């Protein structure tokens, strides 16, 4: 089998960026950070400045959603300044959208809606269906959240919100936005994205009291996820179906669906989904007059919430360790972007020529294979120096890291490439020098 030398690293980079964005959508922030870091490593080696920027934006949003807001917003702003200086409209739009998503973490929905509107204006000029759909999806989500804030929480369903717009109109607007998202995302041929969209649409229709239409949305999710291993999405689908059962006074059926959803979510450590499932189970049992299980699930909800907070703390520590590289952001300022004509993730912006010496070609070949094996940029930097005989202290001093951080990177490298020690890692790195078949 013949493998193209330049195609494989690019395919891996694009795939990791796509997986990072999907993980971000599903709330798997730790996974999003890891995929984004791999994408940044690959795009950096490919000398694709825009690809590096997109990877950093995903990392920024992941950091922002976990609470590291100043660093996340600062990185987004710096990338946006570089994009504006190079008149790169598409990247500017992605920056504005990323800022809006982070602003939601600040509970600033009004400001976020303004940012989303600006991002939409820029995105419409680029015609990027993925970005257009993402912006419209977030707008629909925010409108549904506003409905619940203004009406459902107060028990005032149907009354006007403080800005004078009837609450029902917010839901209708959210439903119309979902239809626009569907038109954009159909072009991408990504069933998981469409499944998430239909789940949101099912909840909007349930809020409107349109049970049969919500049921049809759930059936579409079933078809889209057929043969797709997405257990967390399946758990969320069960929660939506449980709402339908509850609306039809089928309490026993509702409890069964929520029980399966909670078990599925806990099996795959989806704590946020588990919190919602146990909360709904407690309410369903209370509605059925089963006070003991209602109390038990209320306690389970609290336990899962505490575990979720601990998980967020661990992810936050991981994110601090894999902090956004200021050097990479600064590198972008030294590279020239070109105006976007087509999808630049498919056609990269190459701003520097690779060195043509034999040694450089060998190193680039090794880096390409290391990226394909799943190593991160920092892991490759550490591995290269260790393979050249440098001590942990020397590597730490050269890269500006602590010796413990270098050792942690080495342990991850060992686990990724399947070796036990430095000698095995060095042999693995040297063996990468052979030409690609």
Q: Which of 125, 58, 110 is nearest to 322 (CA)?
A: 58
**CA-only gyration radius of the chain, Å:** 24
d(CA 288, CA 281): 11
Backbone angles phi, psi at 161, to 5 degrees: -80, 170
Question: What are all long-range contacts of 291-294, with beta carbons under 8 Å and residues at least 24 apart?
Answer: none
Burial of 260 (0-12, 13-18, 19+ CB in 10 A): middle
Backbone angles phi, psi at 385, to 5 degrees: -75, -40
SS3 of 286, please?
Answer: helix
Percentage of the chain exceeding pLDDT 90: 20
Q: List all residues 6 or more positions away from 104 whose beta carbon is below 8 Å from its beta carbon.
A: 112, 138, 142
What average pLDDT does the structure give for the chain? 78
Half-sphere exposure of 390 (CA within 13 A, CB side): 20
Backbone angles phi, psi at 350, to 5 degrees: -100, 120
Residue 214's pLDDT band (boundaries 50, 70, 90)? very high
d(CA 377, CA 38): 7
The distance of Cα 207 from the centroid of its chain, to the nearest Å, equals: 27
> CA dihedral defined by 131, 133, 137, 139, rounded to 10 degrees?
70
Q: What pLDDT is stored for residue 158 in this prediction?
A: 42
Q: Is the confidence at residue 47, as pLDDT, over 70?
A: yes
Are 122 and 131 within 8 A, CB to CB? no
Domains of the chain: 1-126 (1.25.40.10), 362-437 (1.10.10.10)
C-alpha pair distances (Å), 10 with each of 131, 165, 190, 339: 21, 48, 19, 20
Q: Is the confidence at residue 294, as pLDDT, over 70?
A: yes
Q: Tell me which DSSP letter residue 376 carries.
A: -
d(CA 70, CA 67): 9
Q: What pLDDT is stored for residue 140 in this prediction?
A: 92
Element (H, E) at 129: helix 129-147
Q: What pLDDT is stored for residue 313 in this prediction?
A: 60
Residue 347's pLDDT band (boundaries 50, 70, 90)? very low
> CA dihedral defined by 120, 123, 127, 133, rounded to 10 degrees?
-50
Q: Is the confidence at residue 50, as pLDDT, over 50?
A: yes
For residue range 90-142, what is the model confidence (pLDDT) as tens digits? 888 999 999 888 888 776 677 788 888 888 888 888 888 999 999 999 999 98
Q: Which of 192, 198, 147, 194 is nearest to 168 (CA)?
A: 147
Ranking 185-194, 203-212, 243-252, 309-318 by mean pLDDT, the lowest is: 309-318
Q: List all residues 6 or more positions away from 63 whose beta carbon is below 8 Å from its beta carbon.
A: 33, 71, 72, 319, 324
Ranking 110-114, 148-152, 261-265, 364-368 by mean pLDDT, the lowest is: 148-152
Residue 35 structure tokens = 């995929």
Q: Tell me which DSSP letter residue 160 carries.
A: B
pTM score: 0.69
d(CA 66, CA 72): 10
Beta bridge partners of 133: none
């Amino acid at each position: 089998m013949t493998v193209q030398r330049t195609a494989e690293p690019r395919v891996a980079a694009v795939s990791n960026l796509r997986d990072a964005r999907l993980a971000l959508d599903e709330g798997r922030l730790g996974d999003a950070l890891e995929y984004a870091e791999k994408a940044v490593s690959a795009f950096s080696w490919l000398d694709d400045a825009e690809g590096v920027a997109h990877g950093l934006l995903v990392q920024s949003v992941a950091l922002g959603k976990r609470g590291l807001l100043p660093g996340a917003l600062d990185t987004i702003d710096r990338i946006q300044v570089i994009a504006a200086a190079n008149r790169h409209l598409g990247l500017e739009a992605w920056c504005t959208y990323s800022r809006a998503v982070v602003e939601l973490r600040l509970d600033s929905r009004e400001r976020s809606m303004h940012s989303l509107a600006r991002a939409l204006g820029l995105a419409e000029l680029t015609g990027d269906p993925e970005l257009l759909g993402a912006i419209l999806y977030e707008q629909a989500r925010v409108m549904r959240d506003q409905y619940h804030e203004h009406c459902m929480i107060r028990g005032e369903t149907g009354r006007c919100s403080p800005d004078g717009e009837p609450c029902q109109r917010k839901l209708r607007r959210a439903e119309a936005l979902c239809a626009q998202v569907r038109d954009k995302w159909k072009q991408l041929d990504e069933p998981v994205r469409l499944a998430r969209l239909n789940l949101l649409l099912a909840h909007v229709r349930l809020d409107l009291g349109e049970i049969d239409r919500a049921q049809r949305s759930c059936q579409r999710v079933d078809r889209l996820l057929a043969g797709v291993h997405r257990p967390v999405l399946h758990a969320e689908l069960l929660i939506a179906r449980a709402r339908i059962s509850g609306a039809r006074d089928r309490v026993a059926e509702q409890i069964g669906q929520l029980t399966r959803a909670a078990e599925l979510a806990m099996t795959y450590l989806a704590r946020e989904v588990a919190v919602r499932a146990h909360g709904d189970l407690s309410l369903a049992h209370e509605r059925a007059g089963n006070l003991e299980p209602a109390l038990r699930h209320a306690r389970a909800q609290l336990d899962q919430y505490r575990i979720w907070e601990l998980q967020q703390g661990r992810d936050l520590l991981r994110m601090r360790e894999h902090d956004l590289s200021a050097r990479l952001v600064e590198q972008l300022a030294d590279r020239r972007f070109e105006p976007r004509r087509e999808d630049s993730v498919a056609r990269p912006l190459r701003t520097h020529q690779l060195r043509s010496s034999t040694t450089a070609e060998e190193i680039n070949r090794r880096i390409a294979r290391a990226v394909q094996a799943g190593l991160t940029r920092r892991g490759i930097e550490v591995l290269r120096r260790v393979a050249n005989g440098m001590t942990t202290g020397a590597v730490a001093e050269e890269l500006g890291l602590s010796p413990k951080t270098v050792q942690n990177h080495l342990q991850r490298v060992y686990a990724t490439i399947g070796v036990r020690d430095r000698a095995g890692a060095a042999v693995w790195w040297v063996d990468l020098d052979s030409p690609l078949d």
